[in-house]
């Protein structure tokens, strides 16, 4: 799959276990022999670089009133903040910086505890989400890998510049994620505890993540 500028954004492979009938249906559904890429440059992702520090107090106030995690992107657009700047601006309030090794340690704990998680990895056109357990964790040089039958993750740990624990208030209580960024401030990966709208996040996930950052568990039951 390609975006309008011809940049590759997604691949699907046919394997020995694939259904040939399903594969043909997939091709018929998506193949377009007449497609033409745009001659004009298509911006892959708008750089939000206002980063006006004078707006931080109001930004924090609006963050505290979020009701859904999906409203966070709207909040960034409202203030014209980049995602990483927003976490820097709220550090100690809603975000907490951690080391790469802390994140990797958490993955190992999640694996040993059989805790179900959600991992989001994306580019400007596609987001892939894994929901479930992770088991076969392997380190190969700078690569940290999850090599499970139904889920593979290949993460270049030497390309991770900053890592944050992030808390977002919602109607269902706090939703906690870990977010990784590269040196350009591009979001690499997000990880959540498994949850669905209308269901509070797992207390085990919440406490496990906050143990990593060395903070006491938030005791307000309305936020957990």
Give the per-residue pLDDT at 198: 87
**36: region left, alpha or beta (phi > 0 left; psi from -120 to 50 alpha):** beta
Mean pLDDT of 22-27: 92
Q: In which band, very low, low, confident or very high, does the pLDDT at 102 lie, cut at 50, 70 and 90?
A: very high
Contact call for residues 118 and 130 (beta carbons, < 8 A): yes
Report whether pLDDT(66) > 70.
yes
The two structure tokens encoding residue 111: 């694996």
Q: What is the DSSP string of 144-175?
A: EEEEETTEEEEEEGGG--EEEEEEEEETTEEE
Mean pLDDT of 77-87: 93
Contact call for residues 90 and 51 (beta carbons, < 8 A): no
Whether the predicted model's global pTM rises above the 0.75 cut: yes
Report whether pLDDT(151) > 70.
yes
- How many helices and strands, by DSSP H and E, does the chain display? 6, 9
Phi then psi for 30, rounded to 5 degrees?
-110, -25
* Stretch among 39-43, 92-96, 98-102, 107-111 having the lowest mean pLDDT: 39-43
Buried b (16+ CB within 10 A) or exposed e, 67-80: eebebbeebbeebe
- Point out which residues pair with 117 in neighbouring strands: 132, 193
Residue identified by tokens 């479930």 is: 132
Q: Which CATH superfamily is domain 95-224 in?
A: HemS/ChuS/ChuX like domains (3.40.1570.10)
User: For residue 13, what are the contacts with CB-CB under 8 A and spacing of at least 6?
Assistant: none
Share of residues in the chain with pLDDT > 70 (%): 89
pLDDT for 34-59, tens place per residue?
777 666 554 444 454 667 889 999 99
Domain ranges within the chain, ordered by starting residue: 1-44, 95-224
Give the per-residue pLDDT at 44: 43
Mean pLDDT of 48-71: 89
Task: Between 76 and 43, name the one with better pLDDT.
Answer: 76
């Amino acid at each position: 799959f390609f975006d309008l500028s011809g940049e590759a954004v997604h691949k699907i492979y046919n394997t020995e276990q694939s259904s040939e009938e399903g594969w043909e249906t997939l091709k018929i559904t998506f193949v377009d022999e007449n497609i033409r890429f745009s001659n004009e440059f298509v911006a892959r992702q708008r750089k939000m670089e206002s980063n006006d520090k004078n707006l931080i107090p109001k930004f924090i106030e609006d963050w505290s009133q979020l009701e859904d995690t999906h409203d966070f992107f709207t909040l960034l657009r409202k203030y014209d903040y980049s995602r990483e700047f927003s976490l820097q601006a709220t550090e100690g309030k809603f975000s907490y910086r951690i080391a790469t090794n802390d994140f990797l340690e958490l993955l190992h704990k999640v694996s040993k505890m059989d805790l179900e998680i959600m991992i989001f990895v994306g580019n400007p056109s596609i987001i892939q989400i894994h929901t479930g357990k992770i088991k076969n964790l392997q380190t190969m040089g700078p690569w940290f890998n999850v090599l499970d039958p139904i889920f593979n993750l290949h993460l270049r740990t030497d390309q991770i510049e900053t890592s944050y624990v992030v808390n977002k208030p919602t109607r269902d209580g706090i939703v906690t994620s870990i977010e990784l960024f590269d040196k350009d401030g591009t979001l690499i990966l997000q990880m959540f505890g498994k949850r669905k709208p209308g269901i509070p996040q797992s207390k085990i996930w919440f406490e496990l993540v906050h143990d990593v950052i060395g903070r006491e568990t938030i005791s307000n039951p309305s936020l957990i």
